[in-house]
Amino acid sequence: MRLHALAAVGGSRRYSAALFVDALGAGLLRPFMLLYGLRVLGLGLAPTGAALTVGLLVGLAAIPLTGRWIDRSGGRSPVIGALLIRAAGVAVLLAADSLGTFVAAAVLLSCGTQAWPPAHAALVSAMVGGRDRDVALSAGRAVRNAGLGAGALIATVTLAGGAGALRGLAVVSGVGFVVAGALVRSVRPSSGTATGARAAREPAAAGRDAARARDAARGVPVLFVGNLPFALMFDVLEVALPAVFLQQLGTGAAWPGAAFIGNTVLVVTLSVPLVVRLAHRSRRSVFGMSGIAFAAAYLGFLGAGTLGGLGGAVGVALFSVVYTLAEILYSGTGTALVIAAAPPGRLGRALARFELSSGLGKALAPAVLTTLFGVAPAALWIPLAAVTGLAGLAVARFGPQDPPAPAAPAAPAAPVDPVDPAEPTTRMDTAPRPGQATPVEPAPRPGPVGSIEPAPQAGQPTSFEPGSAPRPARATSST
């Protein structure tokens, strides 16, 4: 079941292939955009960083438009659009010869990247529902992590080729986005199934569904605000832990690389099993558990860092496993909770607001993490642990509740064979149970002409209607 969830996200093998190809292309290029500006275009460090920042900010502004697009057309078209926008960004990047064209490429790539998460979540929600949707979202993230890791590994090996290798990686990345878009275009989600089923119910049932949606959505603002500190965790592995290993502990560069690889492997292998294991718990309680686990990992990083040397490095690596488990819990419930609590017809806007809160946290993360760590490790880890743990507890207590599962429709009555008006209705064709006496049927009164008479009981004279001959009785089958 777990392997099938990875091989067929949402029940579609083509969509799983699209996720992997897209992530592979992103892994080939996205981590090395800074190097592309420096080595290929010859831009300075400050202009290249500013261009990437502008692209990130414009991409955040495009998220609300993506939400409205989802509400108008469903999830598939925005997913294809996000992939093609990224392919266009790669084309502009390959043609870039100045800072202006590099900024344009960064904007297109960022818009496609920021539009992808809500569009992907909307498409998955159209393919499967309920807890199966949670599993599909986790499986999709595991597949994408595998693709990103493979792409980054290939790119790392290829970078020795210099500027020409970077251009080649960009070409392969753009082709991957186009191929992924073609695969998504072949996916046929059962969009509108839930909406159609709801519309087909009687007005009273529709009113109950609306009341459930209102109850589920009361804590959505708490979720959006509480999500902000969680968004900082995306850069902990890539920004904060390398600083711990290299600056605080003085270890080699292999340690942060090993932590990153271990994170990728654990996310790929444990995402689906953990989500399935915790399916009996409410989503907001699992979200709260992730906040507590993040807080424990951050405090563990602080404590292990004080050990110094090899012991400190091993301790940080061990607590990075706790961090990864918290990441799986958070990623497996956050988006699923938004989908479950979204009002009918406004799923795209709800997903866009959640992604916007994540995007703001991601945009602030590098500056916040590096500034606080530069002051002192405790200035980073203690406030981060406190705010993340409190946010998790707030969502667990006041966040949106899982909407109650709708009552299963009553099973239709067993079909009843039409009664022949010419046949007596007092016949009992049911075979007796073992050990039960055979019921004795009462002798029917003579029926009208042409009726079929049951066999007479022993000792009863046979009656015939005048002018008619007796016909054999119709065979009956016992149940």
Q: Is 306 exposed, middle or buried (0-12, 13-18, 19+ CB in 10 A)?
A: exposed
pLDDT at 418: 44
Report the candidate in 82, 185, 73, 192 with the shortest Cα–Cα distance to residue 129: 192
Average pLDDT over residues 223-235: 88
Residue 295 to residues 249, 320, 377: CA-CA distances in angstroms? 21, 12, 15
Distance of alpha carbon 82 from alpha carbon 449, whole angstroms: 78
**Whole-number average pLDDT of the chain:** 79
- The DSSP annotation for 68-127 comes to HHHHHH-SHHHHHHHHHHHHHHHHHHHH--SHHHHHHHHHHHHHHHHHHHHHHHHHHHHH
pLDDT at 292: 96
Per-residue pLDDT tens over the stretch 162-219? 788 888 989 999 999 999 999 999 888 764 434 333 433 444 444 555 555 565 557 7
Instruction: Look up residue 406 and give its amino acid.
Output: P
| Crossing angle of the two packed helices 76-95 and 13-29, in degrees rounded to 10 | 30
Burial 112-121, CB ≥16 within 10 A → b, else e: bbbbbbbbbb
Tokens of 111: 């818009």
Instruction: Look up residue 266 and give its amino acid.
Output: L
pLDDT at 415: 43
pLDDT band, residue 463 (cuts 50/70/90): very low
Per-residue pLDDT tens over the stretch 74-101? 888 999 999 999 999 999 999 998 899 9
Distance of alpha carbon 437 from alpha carbon 254, whole angstroms: 84
pLDDT at 154: 87
- Count of CB atoms situated within 10 Å of the CB of 75: 26
Strands (E), 182-312: none
| Crossing angle of the two packed helices 45-73 and 347-375, in degrees rounded to 10 | 160
Q: What is the pTM of this model?
A: 0.75
Distance of alpha carbon 358 from alpha carbon 356, whole angstroms: 5
Find residue 12's DSSP bridge partners: 9
Distance of alpha carbon 300 from alpha carbon 304, whole angstroms: 6
Tokens of 291: 């906040």
CB 70 within 8 A of CB 119: yes
Per-residue pLDDT tens over the stretch 346-390? 889 999 999 988 888 888 888 889 889 989 999 999 999 999 999
Report the candidate in 311, 330, 314, 332 with the shortest Cα–Cα distance to residue 262: 314
Contacts with 7 (C-beta within 8 Å, 6 or more apart), sequence order: 13, 16
pLDDT band, residue 20 (cuts 50/70/90): very high
